[in-house]
Structure 1
Amino acid sequence: MSLIWATRGRTWGFRFLRDGGFGDPLQVYDDAFSDVGDEPEVWWRVAEKGALRFPDPLGRKDRAGRIIPHEFVVLGPLANEVDSVECARQLVWPQVADVFSRIWEMPEPPPPGEGL
């Protein structure tokens, strides 16, 4: 599954943890989220990709007490299979849950693609 994944950890700010194979995923991310708004839960299809946002399923918070959000750009065939936030969460979260459990308390996350 090809994903761009952006989130923050307990002490580190918003970062790309998966880059979807793009050298610079920011443009693809911006395109996907440009019309989404700031709702805490979102599934929004844009052409062949989808923008997905949801709060951390375990309720983890950063050091300022804010719930950790997870934002994904879902690319490829999977985007065509999703029709709701809940459907997307069930397909995407299991792909990254263990990774996030290992890194969210690290002082800095590893660069995108390095074991993520």
Structure 2
Amino acid sequence: MTIIWATRGRRWGFRFLETGGHTDPLPAYDAAFAAVGDERRACRRTGDVVALRFPDPLGRRDAAGRVIPHDFVVTGDLAARVHTVDDGLALVWPQVEARYAEAWDAEL
């Protein structure tokens, strides 16, 4: 998979569920999201890297009641096809949806 994916679960805090092949995905994540700020929905391209953020499509909230955000750094062929948040929902979310459903309520 050509993504870095950071999110929260019902009872676990922000963490990377996909690393995009990086031993430490944080520097690549920080670079991609540097211009995004606190936007709840975002799709920002920098060269061939896309920073993509959207709230959980099923409206899930964590134990504290906060909406779950899904942050992705998308590269490669997939990034070339993601130009909007709606593209990300259609192209990226289906690749991780089942994994998130399993992890959502788990104790990671």
Shorter chain as denominator, the TM-score bin is over 0.9
For the residues of structure 2 that align with 1:87 and 1:81, how far apart are their CA atoms? 7
Aligned equivalent of 2:65: 65
Aligned equivalent of 2:43: 43
Which 10-residue stretch deviates more, 79-88 or 9-18? 79-88
**Are residue 105 (structure 1) and residue 105 (structure 2) matched?**
yes
For the residues of structure 1 that align with 2:4 and 2:76, how far apart are their CA atoms? 12
**Are residue 16 (structure 1) and residue 16 (structure 2) matched?**
yes
- Structure 1 residues 48-89: Cα deviation after superposition (integer angstroms, max 9, x where no partner): 110000000000110000111000000112212222110121
Query: Tell me, which stretches of 5 or more residues in structure 1 are unaligned?
Result: 109-116
Aligned equivalent of 1:53: 53
The TM-score normalised by the length of structure 1 is: 0.90
Q: Which has the higher contact order (CA 8 A, sep 6+)?
A: 1
SS of corresponding position for 1:72: strand
Runs of 4+ in 1 over 6 A off after TM superposition: none
Aligned equivalent of 1:2: 2
Query: Tell me, which stretches of 5 or more residues in structure 2 are unaligned?
Result: none
> Which one-letter code corresponds to 2:74 in the other structure?
V
